[in-house]
Amino acid sequence: MDKLQYISQGADHRSQFEAIQKALDGGCTWIQLRYKNSTPFEFHHLAGRVRVLTSHYKATFIVNDNVLVAKENGADGVHLGLDDMSVRDARSILGPDKIIGGTANTWEDIAKRMAEKCDYIGLGPYRFTQTKEKLSPVLGPEGYRKLLGKQKEAGDRTPIYAIGGIREADLEGLMATGIYGVAISGEITRSADPKNLIQRIYEKLEPTIENSR
Protein backbone atom coordinates (compact mmCIF):
# COMPACT_ATOMS: atom_id res chain seq x y z
CA MET A 1 0.00 0.00 0.00
CA ASP A 2 1.06 3.57 -0.68
CA LYS A 3 2.80 5.22 2.28
CA LEU A 4 0.87 8.48 1.84
CA GLN A 5 -2.89 8.81 2.17
CA TYR A 6 -4.61 12.09 1.42
CA ILE A 7 -7.78 12.61 3.47
CA SER A 8 -10.15 15.03 1.78
CA GLN A 9 -11.28 18.33 3.27
CA GLY A 10 -13.93 20.83 2.30
CA ALA A 11 -17.16 22.28 3.63
CA ASP A 12 -19.15 21.53 0.48
CA HIS A 13 -19.24 19.30 -2.58
CA ARG A 14 -17.27 21.69 -4.77
CA SER A 15 -14.44 22.39 -2.32
CA GLN A 16 -14.11 18.66 -1.57
CA PHE A 17 -13.82 17.79 -5.25
CA GLU A 18 -11.35 20.60 -5.95
CA ALA A 19 -9.16 19.57 -2.99
CA ILE A 20 -9.08 15.97 -4.24
CA GLN A 21 -8.27 17.11 -7.78
CA LYS A 22 -5.43 19.23 -6.37
CA ALA A 23 -3.99 16.29 -4.42
CA LEU A 24 -4.15 13.99 -7.45
CA ASP A 25 -2.57 16.60 -9.71
CA GLY A 26 0.16 16.94 -7.10
CA GLY A 27 0.97 13.23 -7.23
CA CYS A 28 -1.07 11.58 -4.47
CA THR A 29 -2.04 8.03 -5.39
CA TRP A 30 -4.29 7.23 -2.40
CA ILE A 31 -7.40 9.28 -1.67
CA GLN A 32 -9.72 8.85 1.31
CA LEU A 33 -13.04 10.67 0.88
CA ARG A 34 -14.10 12.16 4.21
CA TYR A 35 -17.15 14.41 4.02
CA LYS A 36 -18.86 14.41 7.40
CA ASN A 37 -21.40 17.23 7.14
CA SER A 38 -23.05 16.21 3.90
CA THR A 39 -26.47 14.84 3.10
CA PRO A 40 -26.61 11.17 2.00
CA PHE A 41 -27.34 12.31 -1.57
CA GLU A 42 -24.38 14.74 -1.62
CA PHE A 43 -22.00 12.12 -0.25
CA HIS A 44 -23.13 9.46 -2.72
CA HIS A 45 -22.94 11.86 -5.66
CA LEU A 46 -19.48 13.10 -4.68
CA ALA A 47 -18.24 9.54 -4.21
CA GLY A 48 -19.31 8.72 -7.76
CA ARG A 49 -17.44 11.70 -9.17
CA VAL A 50 -14.33 10.91 -7.11
CA ARG A 51 -14.42 7.28 -8.29
CA VAL A 52 -14.29 8.45 -11.91
CA LEU A 53 -11.51 10.93 -11.10
CA THR A 54 -9.32 8.48 -9.16
CA SER A 55 -9.77 5.85 -11.88
CA HIS A 56 -8.43 8.36 -14.41
CA TYR A 57 -5.34 8.89 -12.23
CA LYS A 58 -5.09 5.16 -11.38
CA ALA A 59 -5.27 6.11 -7.71
CA THR A 60 -6.62 4.08 -4.80
CA PHE A 61 -10.01 5.36 -3.59
CA ILE A 62 -11.19 4.75 -0.02
CA VAL A 63 -14.47 5.96 1.49
CA ASN A 64 -14.54 7.06 5.12
CA ASP A 65 -17.12 5.28 7.30
CA ASN A 66 -19.84 4.50 4.75
CA VAL A 67 -19.58 0.90 3.55
CA LEU A 68 -22.65 1.04 1.32
CA VAL A 69 -21.45 4.19 -0.47
CA ALA A 70 -18.10 2.47 -1.01
CA LYS A 71 -19.79 -0.59 -2.49
CA GLU A 72 -22.30 1.26 -4.65
CA ASN A 73 -19.59 3.46 -6.19
CA GLY A 74 -16.98 0.77 -6.74
CA ALA A 75 -14.47 2.18 -4.28
CA ASP A 76 -11.30 0.24 -3.51
CA GLY A 77 -12.25 0.04 0.14
CA VAL A 78 -13.42 1.76 3.30
CA HIS A 79 -11.94 3.26 6.46
CA LEU A 80 -13.89 2.47 9.63
CA GLY A 81 -13.93 4.51 12.84
CA LEU A 82 -14.14 2.84 16.23
CA ASP A 83 -17.90 3.40 16.40
CA ASP A 84 -18.63 2.33 12.81
CA MET A 85 -19.64 -1.01 11.35
CA SER A 86 -17.46 -3.98 12.34
CA VAL A 87 -14.68 -5.08 10.01
CA ARG A 88 -16.33 -8.48 9.73
CA ASP A 89 -19.64 -7.02 8.55
CA ALA A 90 -17.89 -4.63 6.17
CA ARG A 91 -15.93 -7.53 4.69
CA SER A 92 -19.14 -9.50 4.15
CA ILE A 93 -20.58 -6.56 2.18
CA LEU A 94 -17.50 -5.51 0.24
CA GLY A 95 -15.91 -8.90 -0.39
CA PRO A 96 -12.43 -10.31 0.26
CA ASP A 97 -10.48 -8.15 -2.18
CA LYS A 98 -11.39 -4.69 -0.91
CA ILE A 99 -9.19 -2.68 1.46
CA ILE A 100 -10.57 -2.21 4.97
CA GLY A 101 -8.75 0.12 7.34
CA GLY A 102 -9.62 0.94 10.92
CA THR A 103 -8.99 3.76 13.38
CA ALA A 104 -7.08 3.22 16.65
CA ASN A 105 -5.90 5.44 19.50
CA THR A 106 -4.83 3.02 22.26
CA TRP A 107 -3.11 -0.36 22.48
CA GLU A 108 -6.52 -1.93 23.14
CA ASP A 109 -7.78 -0.41 19.87
CA ILE A 110 -4.75 -1.73 17.98
CA ALA A 111 -5.22 -5.22 19.46
CA LYS A 112 -8.87 -5.12 18.41
CA ARG A 113 -7.95 -4.11 14.87
CA MET A 114 -5.29 -6.81 14.71
CA ALA A 115 -7.85 -9.43 15.79
CA GLU A 116 -10.31 -8.12 13.20
CA LYS A 117 -7.61 -8.49 10.52
CA CYS A 118 -7.80 -4.95 9.17
CA ASP A 119 -5.67 -4.34 6.10
CA TYR A 120 -4.19 -1.28 7.79
CA ILE A 121 -4.62 0.78 10.97
CA GLY A 122 -4.89 4.57 11.16
CA LEU A 123 -3.33 5.45 14.54
CA GLY A 124 -3.69 8.90 16.02
CA PRO A 125 -3.98 11.70 16.53
CA TYR A 126 -0.36 12.76 16.33
CA ARG A 127 -1.24 16.28 17.49
CA PHE A 128 -4.32 18.47 17.88
CA THR A 129 -6.24 18.88 14.65
CA GLN A 130 -9.41 20.76 13.76
CA THR A 131 -10.35 18.11 11.17
CA LYS A 132 -12.11 15.96 13.79
CA GLU A 133 -14.75 17.31 16.15
CA LYS A 134 -14.33 14.54 18.77
CA LEU A 135 -10.58 14.19 19.21
CA SER A 136 -9.00 11.24 21.04
CA PRO A 137 -5.97 11.80 23.31
CA VAL A 138 -2.95 13.12 21.39
CA LEU A 139 -0.12 10.58 21.02
CA GLY A 140 2.96 12.53 19.94
CA PRO A 141 6.19 10.76 18.85
CA GLU A 142 6.66 8.91 22.14
CA GLY A 143 3.14 7.50 21.97
CA TYR A 144 3.80 6.04 18.53
CA ARG A 145 7.12 4.61 19.65
CA LYS A 146 5.55 2.79 22.60
CA LEU A 147 2.56 1.46 20.68
CA LEU A 148 4.60 0.30 17.69
CA GLY A 149 6.98 -1.42 20.12
CA LYS A 150 4.04 -3.34 21.55
CA GLN A 151 2.88 -4.30 18.07
CA LYS A 152 6.34 -5.64 17.28
CA GLU A 153 6.40 -7.63 20.53
CA ALA A 154 3.03 -9.12 19.55
CA GLY A 155 4.51 -10.28 16.26
CA ASP A 156 1.96 -8.37 14.20
CA ARG A 157 2.84 -6.67 10.92
CA THR A 158 -0.38 -4.82 10.06
CA PRO A 159 0.66 -1.54 8.39
CA ILE A 160 0.07 1.39 10.75
CA TYR A 161 -0.40 4.94 9.44
CA ALA A 162 0.08 8.00 11.63
CA ILE A 163 -2.78 10.46 11.39
CA GLY A 164 -3.86 13.76 12.89
CA GLY A 165 -2.29 17.16 12.25
CA ILE A 166 0.82 15.74 10.58
CA ARG A 167 3.16 18.13 8.76
CA GLU A 168 6.11 17.63 6.47
CA ALA A 169 8.50 18.60 9.27
CA ASP A 170 7.23 15.69 11.39
CA LEU A 171 8.00 12.94 8.92
CA GLU A 172 11.60 12.04 9.71
CA GLY A 173 10.85 11.68 13.41
CA LEU A 174 7.68 9.73 12.74
CA MET A 175 9.35 7.29 10.36
CA ALA A 176 11.99 6.66 13.03
CA THR A 177 9.25 5.26 15.29
CA GLY A 178 8.66 2.41 12.83
CA ILE A 179 5.41 3.74 11.38
CA TYR A 180 4.49 2.37 7.94
CA GLY A 181 3.11 5.60 6.49
CA VAL A 182 1.10 8.75 7.13
CA ALA A 183 -2.29 10.24 6.38
CA ILE A 184 -2.14 13.98 5.68
CA SER A 185 -5.00 16.36 5.08
CA GLY A 186 -4.61 20.03 5.97
CA GLU A 187 -1.05 20.68 4.82
CA ILE A 188 -1.74 19.30 1.33
CA THR A 189 -5.12 21.03 1.10
CA ARG A 190 -3.64 24.42 2.00
CA SER A 191 -0.44 24.11 -0.05
CA ALA A 192 0.22 26.66 -2.78
CA ASP A 193 2.59 24.18 -4.46
CA PRO A 194 1.19 20.69 -3.78
CA LYS A 195 3.32 18.95 -6.41
CA ASN A 196 6.61 19.92 -4.77
CA LEU A 197 5.21 19.30 -1.29
CA ILE A 198 3.96 15.83 -2.16
CA GLN A 199 7.25 14.99 -3.91
CA ARG A 200 9.17 15.94 -0.74
CA ILE A 201 6.77 13.92 1.41
CA TYR A 202 7.27 10.80 -0.70
CA GLU A 203 11.03 11.23 -0.57
CA LYS A 204 10.92 11.35 3.22
CA LEU A 205 8.57 8.37 3.47
CA GLU A 206 10.57 6.26 1.02
CA PRO A 207 14.11 7.67 1.13
CA THR A 208 15.70 4.64 -0.51
CA ILE A 209 13.31 4.62 -3.45
CA GLU A 210 13.96 6.82 -6.45
CA ASN A 211 10.69 8.65 -6.88
CA SER A 212 9.49 9.74 -10.30
CA ARG A 213 6.18 11.24 -9.18
Ligand-binding annotation for 33, yes or no, is yes
Q: Is 54 annotated as a binding residue?
A: no
| 25 appears as a binding residue in the annotation | no
Q: Is 103 annotated as a binding residue?
A: yes
64 among annotated binding-site residues: yes
Residues in the chain: 213
Determine whether the annotation assigns residue 130 to a binding site.
yes
Contacts of 122 (CB under 8 A, 6+ apart): 79, 101, 102, 103, 104, 160, 161, 163, 183
Phi/psi for 198 (5° steps) reads -65, -40
Residue 16 known to bind ligand = no
Contacts of 16 (CB under 8 A, 6+ apart): 8, 9, 10, 33, 35, 46
65 is in an annotated binding site: yes
Is 117 annotated to bind ligand? no
Q: Is 35 within any annotated ligand binding site?
A: yes
For residues 145 and 195, give the distance between their C-alpha atoms in angstroms, rounded to a whole number: 30
Please enumerate, by residue number, every residue annotated as part of a binding site: 32-36, 64-65, 84, 103, 129-132, 165
Please enumerate, by residue number, every residue annotated as part of a binding site for Mg(2+): 65, 84
